[in-house]
A and B are shown apart, each in its own frame.
Chain A
Amino acid sequence: MNSPLIEIRITENALVPHEPVANGSGAVVDFSGIVRGEEHGQPIRALEYQAYQPMAERQIERLIHELLAEFPCTSVRVSHRVGVIQVGECAIALQVAALHRGPAFSFATAFMDRLKQEVPIWKVKAIPSTPA
């Protein structure tokens, strides 16, 4: 297998869906993490995220390489947004492609679990909904 394509992006800009992969993969898993309208049971209109960007990028890259050794994939694209993200908008977009669906699903699940434990990105503020 050729070296997997790896793309990592941390940005304040709105995320757009990743382009379809065209590398002969038989399975593509796209995951989007969306800001929900409540946090700790309280209605909100937005979440503010902060990243220690240089370390977050390195940790994501390290994590991807570790998981590729367990779940071979042909491409991994990760985009994480920071700053103020409104309810309904995408905070993280992950696209994983593999020859077959098993490793693609497994990679995506393991990646999200470990990102939430290891990558220095924080929800720093929940911005409450303003009364109508």
Chain B
Amino acid sequence: MKVKFFAHLQTFTGCDGIDIPVSQKITPDELWAALEKKFPGILHYKTPTRLARNFVYADTDSVFHDGDEIALIPPVSGG
């Protein structure tokens, strides 16, 4: 599963994304826990950050699968 970072989360992680092996499925909270192991402190950004699955905003009930593209979407500021 590909996980993409944007804006200040790219600065925090030092990269624009990572691949996370997923055997079957993973919940948003499990994804955040996996990210915290790899990037300690990233949970600090959890509250204002939305998750997107395959280019659509996810919700707390979403389930992510291997092959999905997940994005961490910090508060946006376009326009």
Contacts and interface: CB of A to CB of B under 8 A. Distances in A.
Contacts of B74: 122
B28 to A, nearest CB: 17
Q: Which of A52, A91, A92, A118 has the most C-beta atoms of chain B within 10 angstroms of its own C-beta?
A: A52
Interface in A73-132: 80, 91-92, 112, 115-124
A120 B79 contact: no
B73 interface: yes
Contacts of A116: 76-79
Interface residues of B, number: 14
A122 B77 CA distance: 5
Given A54-B55, A58-B55, A118 B76 contact: yes
B33 interface: no
A64 interface: no
B2 interface: no
Given A49-B78, A115-B78, A115-B79, A120 B6 contact: yes
20 contacts: A33-B79, A52-B4, A52-B6, A54-B55, A56-B78, A58-B55, A58-B56, A115-B78, A116-B76, A116-B78, A116-B79, A120-B6, A120-B71, A120-B76, A120-B78, A121-B76, A121-B77, A122-B76, A122-B77, A122-B78
Interface of A: 33, 49-52, 54-56, 58, 80, 91-92, 112, 115-124
